[in-house]
Amino acid sequence: MATSFSGNVTPIGVRATDGAAPAVRKLALADLGTALRSGLDDFAAVPSHAVVLCVIYPVLGIVIARLVLGYSVMPLLFPLAAGFALIGPFAAIGLYEMSRRRELGEDASAWHAFEVLRSPSFGAMVGLGVILLALFVAWIMTAQAIYVWTFGNAPAATIPDFIGRVLTTPQGWTLIIVGCGVGFLFALVSLCVSVVSFPMMLDRHAGAAEAMVTSLRVVLSNPLVIAMWGLIVASLLVIGTLPLFLGLAVVIPVLGHATWHLYRMAVEPNTRPPYEPPPKVHHPAADFPVSLFPWARDKH
């Protein structure tokens, strides 16, 4: 039976054997509550910063909804809401940085969140983010195809009409069962490859492949706990989209901070030294024509 992780978190940046695969820990369901409480603490400490960072995501949801208004926004509202679970891990990379800094006792602000842009693994983060975005787009297209397959191209006239068609007709129940089943597969793929990937890339400067493999190892070591975490994330994101996506300005920061703390409980502490930019290489050609006169260069 999985045992709960407890104890103080080892400070980040301690040196150990280079190239060693990070060890993953067994988690208990109680650890999810611990991660969420820690996420709430981080959000309470810097609420305005978190909202500023995440306001773009509710706006993104509204923009996407407007783009599909020409057909009918109602059939895609639930897929859009659920789809935020696919891109949420990438959307929260700035929040991981704030939680990391708070863990170290450093200042955490909106500007510090942009320090992720200087991470040596930022390119890997973007690469995995593009994969998740492609997964999100594929999910929306698939959800649209499922709706057309069950109801045809005729849009619902009103919200009550749409709800009635979904809940009281055989086609509606087919839509619910098939849609939820296919959506589960999309969510499962996203969860398996990203549950700790982005925090690990930020913390350990790992590549995307190493981070995804570690995420898979965490999932395989803690299938029940990670499944419950995925259910919690999906439920909170759907709830956050109900008031015109505005609730995501609170839900995403809390989940983002909580994901960092879940990573710190699931993966052994970082054992690599902190990243330092490589020293500047002196290029003699840059000194031309001074380099032609050594006595002049020595004076400088």
- For residue 155, the tally of other CB atoms under 10 A from its CB is 15
Q: For the purposes of burial, counting CB atoms within 10 Å of the CB of 15, is it exposed (0-12), middle (13-18) or buried (19 or more)?
A: exposed
pLDDT reported for residue 16: 36
Torsion angles phi and psi, residue 275, rounded to 5: -70, 135
Closest CA to 39 of 90, 86, 96: 96
* 289 prior amide bond cis, ω within 30: yes
Tokens of 137: 């787009």
Q: Going residue by residue through the chain (300 aa), what tens digit of pLDDT does each one get?
A: 444 444 444 333 333 334 567 889 999 999 999 999 999 999 888 876 566 566 666 666 666 666 666 556 677 777 877 777 888 888 888 889 888 888 888 876 667 777 788 888 899 999 999 999 999 989 988 998 998 888 887 766 667 777 888 888 888 899 889 998 998 999 999 999 999 999 999 998 889 999 999 999 999 999 999 999 999 988 888 788 776 677 777 888 899 999 999 999 999 886 555 545 455 555 555 455 444 444 444 444
Q: How far apart are CA 75 and CA 236, in angstroms?
A: 20
The full set of domain ranges for the chain reads: 29-271
Q: How far apart are CA 207 and CA 202, in angstroms?
A: 10
